[in-house]
Amino acid sequence: MSGQRYVLLGLASGAPGWMTKVQPVLDTGQPAGEFLPCAGIADLTNRLASGRPFSALLIDHRTVGLDRELIQRSHAAHCPVIVVGKETDAGRWKSLGADEVISSFLADEDLRLALQRHGNLINQTDRFRKSDTQTAPPAIGDKAKWQNTSWHGRLIAVTGPGGTGASSVARALALGLGHDPRFQKSVALVDACLEADQAHLHGVDPGGKNLQQAVQAHRTGQPTAQELFTLMIQPSGAPYRLLPGLLRRRDWPAAGGSSLRSTLINIARHHLVTVVDVDPFVDLAPEEQPTSPSTPGEIARVVMNLADFVVVVGRPSERDAIAQQRTLNTLVAAGVDDKRISPLILYPAGPRPRWRSPFGRKKLTATNPTGEISDPGTDPSGESAAQIARRIAAQLDRLTSRTQNEPDTPLPPGSLGNENRA
């Protein structure tokens, strides 16, 4: 233990009484330590980004700005978060990512136990290290994205170059899956486009219910099923719930990062299938992406990172074929598994025009071709929606599980059908 100590950061709005108790506890115990109160969130983030190692962050539960994003930023700097406040709120803070919650009375033993469980001992020879807040985000194809989550339904991303009808396909897909008895109308449609059209296509007034509000609710808490459903709309006669998109394109910084990820995971946890209408702009995110969103491409990257299946919509013209192939290449280059990508070509109603892809048919249809389907239009009929849903559902049936939450357990030979019954 020689040469090791605790270096704690502290943050609070105002001057709560527990702040004055921390340093005496560190002075009287072994190992000793140092407590560094921060002047505000800006001071805290500067320290976290400095590269200096810290044992833990003690933060008051009433601190203005304490949310999922701030906790994630601290974790990215390898600094555990201990919330000081009401122990009855432990469930809420831990759902946001906090490592521990201790009482604001700050008993010496409580602080010591929390540091033993979560604190990092700092050596006198520890060197500065670059904070992960400035490193690349997890690869889009990384299976670790669903770890530490409970059961969740399938998440399907529908995207495509501008003007190809991806939003109409997303709506038709949600309609078709909602009418499929296998999914029991447990279907959600999320509009994650920068230029959100789903509310307009459905002819509904969001009335304050939109992606931005849902993300904000998950930034400071973990809504229950009923609370989540109140953030969504049930379109008249539709067998699915709708989460409208951003009110304005410039609102994208408020709908990204770990809070958007938590929002989508929570929606998928309460629906058998979640369809997300999203832009293909994954290449707008820089290689060194900070924790909070800094480019419009952050939303697309979060969606693609969670998607079990990606449908790329195109049109039967040479120009649209080039745009569709470019989108496919961009997604694969960003880390999306090509086995989970499926091109879909929309033909206008009536006789199909004769055309030839400049890339060749085999190259354009990639690994999982959904095929060619008549354009469902802005008001898809039941048959066109059912056709799209059947094709996508067939693709989903062939997918392997995204993650293995529990290891496989071998069965002893002869055990099947021979359970011991009382």
* Whether residue 73 sits in one domain with residue 41: yes
Q: Which helix or strand (DSSP H or E) is residue 267 part of?
A: helix 257-269
Residue 47: C-alpha distances to residues 74, 81, 190, 302 (Å) = 10, 14, 37, 27
Looking up residue 248, the CATH number of its domain turns out to be 3.40.50.300
Q: How confident is the model at residue 198 (pLDDT cuts 50, 70, 90)?
A: very high
Worst-scoring range by mean pLDDT, 90-94, 202-206, 378-382?
378-382
Structural domain span for residue 274: 143-397
pLDDT (tens digit per residue) in 331-341: 998 888 888 99
* Whether residue 159 sits in one domain with residue 116: no
pLDDT (tens digit per residue) in 34-47: 999 999 999 998 89
pLDDT attached to residue 365: 44
Q: How confident is the model at residue 189 (pLDDT cuts 50, 70, 90)?
A: very high
* Whether residue 60 sits in one domain with residue 42: yes
pLDDT attached to residue 412: 64
**Tokens 């290689």 belong to residue:** 287
* Whether residue 177 sits in one domain with residue 124: no
- Taking 70 as the threshold, does the pLDDT of residue 29 lie above it? yes
Instruction: Single out the residue in 85, 104, 134 at which a domain terminates.
Output: 134
pLDDT attached to residue 140: 64
pLDDT (tens digit per residue) in 215-225: 999 988 889 99
**Nearest CA-CA partner of 400 in 314, 346, 337, 312:** 337
Percent of the chain with pLDDT over 70: 77
Report the distance separating Cα 381 and Cα 367, nearest Å: 28
- Taking 90 as the threshold, does the pLDDT of residue 80 lie above it? yes
pLDDT attached to residue 12: 92
Mean pLDDT, the chain, rounded, equals: 82
Report the distance separating Cα 337 and Cα 342, nearest Å: 11
Tally of domains within the chain: 2
- Taking 70 as the threshold, does the pLDDT of residue 260 lie above it? yes
Query: Would 413 be classed as within a structural domain?
Result: no
